[in-house]
Amino acid sequence: MASVATTLIGFDKVWKSYGQGEARVHALAGVDLAIRRGEFVAIMGPSGSGKSTAMNIIGCLDTPTAGTYSFEGIDAGRLDRNRRAQLRNLYVGFVFQGYNLLPRTTAAENVELPLIYRGVGARERRGLAMQALAEVGLVGREHHTPAELSGGQQQRVAIARAIVTRPTLLVADEPTGNLDTARTHEIMELLMQLNSELGLTIAMVTHEADVAGYAQRTIRFLDGHVASDTANLEMA
């Protein structure tokens, strides 16, 4: 377990249950887990293993049925919906398999969206968006729409949108699921770079062992439990 001083995310005997009586299902069954600030962690497991439930709790999209989920020392599992949304908006960025870009807006405008929700002025918004796009290697593509970008470039825009607010945590759900081998390598190298240069903590779900290998650590879920939690030696 990580020390209290460096722990960003902590699960203390976390349960997540659905249904009642004999139909009750335990998606998580007393999970203990810690992720340190600045770590890049891959989360794996078969369908129904509990990995997606764990990620939803990590991203403050859901709460435990029992046990404690702490984020930055805050008992996030006991926050009401509005306060969890505030925590999520301030500290968490999300990247998904499907990019989720607005099709008729430019790369820069897509990246600006989280800043609009924060009330950031137009000039500052554009400057921050251009900086984030530069950080993901898209200088010169700022005014292209998603249809004018490759899949890898679209995912770079999505990553820029996720980091433009300078979150503490990036939650990545199968970020290379729609990409070929070459583009997968490029996106994973980019995530490693952002982890190293920005100190960004990354929690990534993947079903591909070679993708998990880019992370510093791999946590495998099975039947609602952590089945293994190992360092990736080549990345350590």
Q: How many other CB atoms sit within 10 Å of the CB of residue 235? A: 16
Q: Which residues fall within 8 angstroms of residue 79, CB to CB, at 6 or more apart?
A: 60, 63, 87
Residue 5 has pLDDT above 80, yes or no: no
What are the structure tokens assigned to 161, written together? 């949108």
Band (23; pLDDT cuts 50, 70, 90): confident
Mean pLDDT of the chain: 93
Provide mean pLDDT across the span 190-205: 96
State residue 117's pLDDT score. Answer: 87
State whether CATH 3.40.50.360 applies to domain 7-231: no
- Going by the DSSP 8-state scheme, the letter that residue 90 receives in this structure is H
Angle value at C-alpha 44, between 211 and 219, nearest 5 degrees: 100
- Give the side-chain half-sphere CA count within 13 A for 205: 21
Domain ranges of the chain: 7-231
pTM (2 d.p.): 0.92
Q: Helix, strand, coil proportions of the chain in percent (round to 5)?
A: 35, 30, 35
